[in-house]
Amino acid sequence: MAQANQGDLEIVPSQFLGFLKDLHSKYKSVQEGAVANYIPELAKVNPDLFSICVVTVDGQLYEVGDYEQLFTIQSMSKVFAYGLALEDHGRDYILTRVGVEPTGDAFNAIILDEQSKRPYNPMVNAGAIATTSLIKGSGATERLNRMLDMFRRYIGHDVFVDISVFTSERSTGHRNRAMAHLMFNFGMIDQNIEEALDLYFQQCAVMVNCRDLAVMAATLANRGTNPITGEQAVDSHYIKDILSVMYTCGMYNFAGEWAYKVGIPAKSGICGGIFAVVPHQMGIAVFSPLLDARGNSVRGVKVCEELSQHLALHLFECSANNSCFSNIQRSSK
């Protein structure tokens, strides 16, 4: 890569790539955590897989490790389904069905707000099921096709659903099914329950790699425009809604500590992926299947914490007039 500019600062790509390689080498030996096993197909993944990717808003790509390894997107899909639902209905209507409050409960807790009967936010399973049920379409096939086309805009190429993972989730997803019936009882879901659940299980089983996740994160950082293809993936009007909920709720019951230590919007998934957004600058993605007790990638959290610390990525530390890349040279030495 040639040298490029972010703001008034010169970036040396070789130095930044070297920094990412150092991070990868530092954390590759970490063996803490375990792969997700409550969905049988996910238990088969190689726990040693590990990759880090960064894509800037001007389309520069930095990647290290197993960045082409495909995996199912799982809960990270909730971010993008939420954006599609916002485009379909607008924020005022979505707020009548799904709240935006963080919760200290686990991501799969069967709990609704006692007063409103809404799920607390679209990043926990109950809220995501309600959000997905709002995706417009004349039937199950049209809704799925709209969902897949939405992912295509974010990533820049067609995607597909892993049928084995989908059927595995569908056959074991009794807890999610209980949530859906509870929400149907309170009028938060008003279409066929099984159809809504199928679409939710399908969106979670979409196949991506670490590079794809970084492009998706960079698209959100770039006001909804894919920095590689130039295609608008989501209406820029809803970027603040998406990033706000990611910041407060995206890391489940680790969200507060994440906001304190890392300080950028992010979303994790039980596949072992984490993607994070540095608005107007870059998207970050890490993939490592070993999870902590909260369902977040152990290596992923460590990498993001160090990136934030050394590059001053925290939203309350990085000045709008000074690119976070200003610290790359110092961190590379």
DSSP string, 65-107: ESTT--EE-GGGHHHHHHHHHHHHH-HHHHHHHS-----SS-T
- Kindly give the residue spans of alpha helices, DSSP state H, lying in 156-296: 163-172, 174-185, 193-204, 210-221, 239-249, 255-261
> Is 209 a known ligand-binding residue?
no
Burial of 302 (0-12, 13-18, 19+ CB in 10 A): middle
> Is 37 a known ligand-binding residue?
no
Average pLDDT, the chain: 90
Q: Which of 21-25, 178-182, 207-211, 237-241 has the lowest mean pLDDT?
A: 178-182
> Is 108 a known ligand-binding residue?
no
Q: Is the pLDDT of residue 320 over 60?
A: no
Domain boundaries in the chain?
Answer: 4-73+208-332, 75-204
Q: Is the pLDDT of residue 97 over 50?
A: yes
Q: Is the pLDDT of residue 56 over 80?
A: yes
Amino acid in the structure at residue 126? A
Residue 153, both tokens: 């805009």
> Is 306 a known ligand-binding residue?
no
User: Predicted confidence band at 304 (pLDDT cuts at 50, 70, 90)?
Assistant: very high
> Is 75 a known ligand-binding residue?
yes
> Is 317 a known ligand-binding residue?
no
User: Predicted confidence band at 231 (pLDDT cuts at 50, 70, 90)?
Assistant: very high
Q: What percent of the chain has pLDDT over 90?
A: 76
- The DSSP output letter for 9 is E
pLDDT for the residue 8: 33
Q: Is the pLDDT of residue 40 over 70?
A: yes
95 close to 145: Cβ distance less than 8 angstroms: no
pLDDT for the residue 6: 38
pTM: 0.91
Could you please state the CATH topology (level 3) that the domain comprising 75-204 is classified under.
Beta-lactamase (3.40.710)
DSSP 3-state of 117: coil
Q: Is the pLDDT of residue 135 over 50?
A: yes
Q: Is the pLDDT of residue 289 over 90?
A: yes
What CATH architecture does domain 4-73+208-332 belong to?
Answer: 3-Layer(aba) Sandwich (3.40)
Centroid of chain to Cα 197: 19
Centroid of chain to Cα 241: 14
Q: In what order do the strands lie in the sheet with 273-278?
A: 61-65, 51-56, 282-287, 273-278, 266-268
Q: What would the pLDDT profile of 242-273 be if each residue is shown by its tens digit?
A: 999 999 999 988 999 999 999 999 999 999 99
Q: What is the mean pLDDT of residues 179-205?
A: 91
Q: What percent of the chain has pLDDT over 70?
A: 91
Q: Is the pLDDT of residue 7 over 70?
A: no
Asked if the domains 4-73+208-332 and 75-204 are classified in one and the same CATH topology, the answer is yes
Return d(Cα 63, Cα 128) in angstroms, integer.
30
pLDDT for the residue 190: 81
